[in-house]
Amino acid sequence: MFSKFSTFLTLVLGIGVLGCVDENELEPGLEPVSKTSIDFVDKDLFIESAGDSLPLGISLDQMPTTDGQVSIQLGGTARYGLDYTTNPSAEDGVIELPILKGKQFYEIAVYRSSTLDTTDRQVSLTLLNPSEAFQLGTEKVSNMHLVKSLSEEPNNSEGAEVNFADSFVHLVEGEDYLIELTIEGSVEHTVPLTISIVTDGRVYGTHFTTSPASVLGEIDLEVNPGMESVFFSFNSINDRLSLGTFEILFQINDLNDDLTVGNNPTLTVKIEEDDVVSNELHSIAELRAKFEEHGDQFWLGDDYFIKGVITSGSNVQDDKIAYIQDSTGGIFLRFSSERMVTLGDHVQLNLKGATGALINGQKGMMDVNDLVGIKIAEKVYVQPEIITFEGLHSGLYQGKKVRIDNVFFPQANGVRTFEGNWAISNDHSGATVTTYSGAEFSGVVLPNGTLSIIGIVGDWGRILPQTYAQDIRR
C-alpha cells in the first residue's frame, strides 16, 4: 500500500516540478500579472424616504483568481443603528467584505431608519486594507445621503400612528414574550406593516423564532380599521449552548401613507444566557477516586458537575451509553434514557442522582439523568495516548482514548468483519478489539497487515474503536 502511494506522490511531484516557472526566468519585457483593483461604482447616492434602502455597488477591474477581503470604514454625520443600518452589518464602524474567486461585482445594502428625521445626514464609506492580491482603485470613497423629501412632510390628514409598546425587554433563555405594537388613530383600509430583525450573529430558528415566522429577516403584519394593537410572539430557544447573553433589535419599516411611525419605532430584546458552566467542577480523576473512598458502589445525592469531551460514537453496547474524558481521565456513563450527547461534544454534565458502580470490571456512572448537559463546543477531537499492551493491561487507562502501534489481526482472512471480539497482537502480547453491531463500520472486513489502532479502553480492558477512518491506521 505504501509503495503505490509513493509512486503516485512521485508522479505528482514530478509534474509539479516540470510545470513550475521561476518568476526570475520570465522572458524579457514580461511583467507579473497586476493586482486586481477595487472601486465603488457610485460616488454619491441619495435615500429620500424613511424606511427605504439602496444598494451600493463595488466592482473589480478584472475577474479575481483568488479569494480575499477588503474593509469598508463607515463615517459621516449619520448614526449607525439609529439613522441607518447595513447588510452586511458593521462592527465598530467597519464592514469586512469577503472577495470570492470568480466574482467581480458586489453590493452593500444601506437601510435608512423608518423614523422620520428632518435633518439631512450623510454616510461616508471608504475602502481600506485590501488583501495582498488586490489594490484600491481611484474611487475609494462613496457618500450615501439621507435627505428629507417633500413626500416626507408630516401628514396632517387622518390616519394612524404605530409604536412598539415597549422599547426594551429582558428575558431569560427559553422564555417567550408577546410583543405589542400600539395603533393610535385608525386606517381606512387594511395596511401592511413590516418589522425587520437585526441580530448580533444569532441564528433565526436555532436561537429564537417568531410567530408569524420571519422571512428573510422580516415579519409581515397587517393593521385593520379599528385596531388599537397588533401583536406577534417572540420565542427564545433554550439551546443548551453556552454562547453568552445577546440582543435582538426589532424595527418598524415599510409604512403606508395611512400609517406613520411614532416616537418608539424600535424594540430591543435582551436574552440572558442560562447555560452557565459551574464553578464547582470535579475532575474525572476525582470522580474515579470516589470508588476507593466509598467502595464499589455509591450514590450522588447532590449536584456533582463534571466537564469533558464525549469520546464515544456508535460503537457502544446501546444508545444509553457514552464515554467522557477530560485531561485527568475517562469514565463510562449510562444515561437513564437515550443519550443526547454525541461524539466530539464538549459538555458539562450534572451527575446528581447517578450511581457509581463497577460494570464488567470498569468504573462507571449509572442512571445519569442530565441527558444533554451544557454544550460548550462541538466536534472536539481528543488526541489518544500512545501506549503498549503492558500499559493497556495495567488498568491505568480505563475509560480513556488510547493508541497501540505495530499490531495486526491474526484472525483476518479477507472475510471476517469487525463485528464481534477479535484479537490483536504484536507477536509478543495481545488484546481484544470489540465492535458492536450498531457501529458504522461493523460490516467492514478486518484488514490484513500491520496497523495502528485507536479506541476507548472499555470493560474487561477491551479496545473499542469509534471512527474507522481515524481509528484504524495502516
User: Does residue 474 have a pLDDT over 50?
Assistant: yes
Total domain count, the chain? 4
What are the residues whose beta carbons fall under 8 Å from the beta carbon of 372, sequence distance 6 or more?
Answer: 240, 340, 341, 347
pLDDT in tens, 429-465: 999 999 999 999 999 999 999 999 999 999 999 999 9
Q: Residue 250's domain is classified under what CATH number?
A: 2.60.40.2030
User: Does residue 29 have a pLDDT over 50?
Assistant: no
User: Last residue of some domain: 352, 377, 402?
Assistant: 377
Is the domain of 265 the same as that of 299?
Answer: no
User: Does residue 282 have a pLDDT over 90?
Assistant: yes
User: Last residue of some domain: 133, 151, 169?
Assistant: 151
Please name the helix (run of DSSP H) or strand (run of DSSP E) that holds residue 116, with its range, or none: none
- Examine residue 3 and state whether it is found in any structural domain, yes or no: no
User: CA 310 to CA 342: how far, in whole Å?
Assistant: 6
Question: Tell me, what's the pLDDT at 433?
Answer: 97
Question: Tell me, what's the pLDDT at 18?
Answer: 36
The 10 Å Cβ neighbour count of residue 157 is: 6
Please name the helix (run of DSSP H) or strand (run of DSSP E) that holds residue 4, with its range, or none: helix 2-19
Tell me which of 402 and 83 has the higher pLDDT: 402
- Examine residue 15 and state whether it is found in any structural domain, yes or no: no
Is the domain of 310 the same as that of 231?
Answer: no
- Residue 391 belongs to domain spanning: 385-473
User: CA 296 to CA 108: how far, in whole Å?
Assistant: 65
Is the domain of 288 the same as that of 356?
Answer: yes
Gyration radius from the chain CA atoms? 32
| Long-range contacts (CB closer than 8 Å, 24 or more residues apart) made by 51-55 | 51/112, 51/113, 51/114, 51/253, 51/254, 51/255, 51/261, 52/111, 52/112, 53/109, 53/110, 53/111, 53/112, 54/109, 54/110, 54/144, 55/107, 55/108, 55/109, 55/110
Please name the helix (run of DSSP H) or strand (run of DSSP E) that holds residue 175, with its range, or none: none
Is the domain of 287 the same as that of 267?
Answer: no
Residue 23: pLDDT band by 50, 70, 90 thresholds?
very low
pLDDT in tens, 190-238: 889 999 999 877 788 888 999 999 998 999 999 999 899 999 999 988 7
* Environment class of 65 (CB within 10 Å of its CB; exposed 0-12, middle 13-18, buried 19+): exposed
Question: Tell me, what's the pLDDT at 27?
Answer: 45
User: Does residue 308 have a pLDDT over 90?
Assistant: yes
- Examine residue 323 and state whether it is found in any structural domain, yes or no: yes
Nine cell digits for residue 171: 428575558
Question: Tell me, what's the pLDDT at 246?
Answer: 82
Is the domain of 324 the same as that of 346?
Answer: yes
The pTM assigned to this predicted structure is 0.51
**Any idea how long the chain is?**
474
Question: Tell me, what's the pLDDT at 243?
Answer: 66
Is the domain of 223 the same as that of 245?
Answer: yes
Is the domain of 319 the same as that of 221?
Answer: no
DSSP conformation letters of 433-467: EEE-TTSTTTTSBPPPS-EEEEEEE-GGG-EE---
Is the domain of 311 the same as that of 333?
Answer: yes
Is the domain of 180 the same as that of 265?
Answer: yes
User: Does residue 17 have a pLDDT over 60?
Assistant: no
Is the domain of 140 the same as that of 40?
Answer: yes
User: CA 453 to CA 465: how far, in whole Å?
Assistant: 7
What are the residues whose beta carbons fall under 8 Å from the beta carbon of 263, sequence distance 6 or more?
Answer: 163
In contact, 29 and 128? CB cutoff 8 Å: no
Question: Tell me, what's the pLDDT at 365?
Answer: 96
User: CA 191 to CA 193: how far, in whole Å?
Assistant: 6
User: CA 178 to CA 167: how far, in whole Å?
Assistant: 13
The torsion angles phi and psi of 201, rounded to 5 degrees, stand at 110, -10
The torsion angles phi and psi of 11, rounded to 5 degrees, stand at -65, -45
User: CA 265 to CA 162: how far, in whole Å?
Assistant: 8
Residue 12: pLDDT band by 50, 70, 90 thresholds?
very low
Question: Tell me, what's the pLDDT at 274?
Answer: 67
User: Last residue of some domain: 88, 120, 151?
Assistant: 151
Question: Tell me, what's the pLDDT at 463?
Answer: 97
Question: Tell me, what's the pLDDT at 187?
Answer: 87
- Examine residue 438 and state whether it is found in any structural domain, yes or no: yes
* Environment class of 418 (CB within 10 Å of its CB; exposed 0-12, middle 13-18, buried 19+): buried
- Examine residue 85 and state whether it is found in any structural domain, yes or no: yes
- Examine residue 370 and state whether it is found in any structural domain, yes or no: yes
Q: Residue 342's domain is classified under what CATH number?
A: 2.40.50.140
In contact, 353 and 365? CB cutoff 8 Å: no
- Mean pLDDT for the stretch of residues 321-341: 95
Query: What 8-state DSSP symbol labels residue 354?
Result: -
User: Can you tell me which residue has the cell 472601486?
Assistant: 39
- Examine residue 9 and state whether it is found in any structural domain, yes or no: no
End-to-end CA distance of the chain: 9
Mean residue pLDDT across the chain: 86
Question: Tell me, what's the pLDDT at 242?
Answer: 65
Residue 11: pLDDT band by 50, 70, 90 thresholds?
very low
Query: What 8-state DSSP symbol labels residue 151?
Result: G
- Mean pLDDT for the stretch of residues 61-86: 90
Question: Tell me, what's the pLDDT at 201?
Answer: 73
3 state SS of 425: strand
Tell me which of 426 and 156 has the higher pLDDT: 426
pLDDT in tens, 354-410: 999 998 889 999 999 998 888 888 899 999 999 999 999 999 999 999 999 999 999
Q: Residue 431's domain is classified under what CATH number?
A: 2.40.50.200
Is the domain of 238 the same as that of 293?
Answer: no
- Examine residue 25 and state whether it is found in any structural domain, yes or no: no
User: Does residue 8 have a pLDDT over 50?
Assistant: no
Is the domain of 364 the same as that of 396?
Answer: no
